[in-house]
């Protein structure tokens, strides 16, 4: 499961606001704020997955905890 820090970092990389994520996921802005402030552990797995999917669709790649710390990166744009 992604962390609140990864959500905030993903939003920062993409320039998306909490309102943007709420609209993309169908969740309330309050839910997004809560996920970012108190962590994702208190949110349902479905809500966390919805936020993760929205950020991934915006180009965010989530890096799992692998001894070096969890993180995010912005994917290179796909060349068509």
Q: What is the dihedral of CA 43, 4, 69, 50, to 10 degrees?
A: 60
CA distance 13 to 26: 21
Task: Kindly report, residue by residue over 14-33, the tens digit of the pLDDT.
Answer: 999 999 999 999 999 999 99
Nearest to 14 by CA among 68, 57, 67, 66: 57
Say if residues 61 and 74 touch (Cβ distance below 8 Å): yes
Say whether pLDDT at 74 is over 70.
yes
Say if residues 50 and 25 touch (Cβ distance below 8 Å): yes
Instruction: For each of the domains in the chain, give its residue range(s) and CATH number, in order of start.
Output: 4-74 (1.10.260.40)
Task: Kindly report, residue by residue over 35-70, the tens digit of the pLDDT.
Answer: 999 887 888 999 999 999 999 999 999 998 887 888
pTM: 0.88
**Where residue 78 falls among pLDDT bands split at 50, 70, 90?**
low
């Amino acid at each position: 499961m992604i962390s609140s820090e990864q959500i905030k970092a993903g939003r920062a990389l993409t320039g998306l606001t909490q309102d943007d994520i709420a609209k993309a996921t169908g969740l309330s802005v309050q839910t997004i704020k809560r996920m970012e402030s108190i962590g994702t552990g208190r949110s349902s797995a479905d809500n966390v997955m919805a936020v993760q999917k929205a950020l991934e669709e915006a180009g965010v790649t989530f890096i799992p905890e692998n001894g070096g710390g969890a993180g995010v990166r912005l994917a290179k744009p796909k060349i068509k």
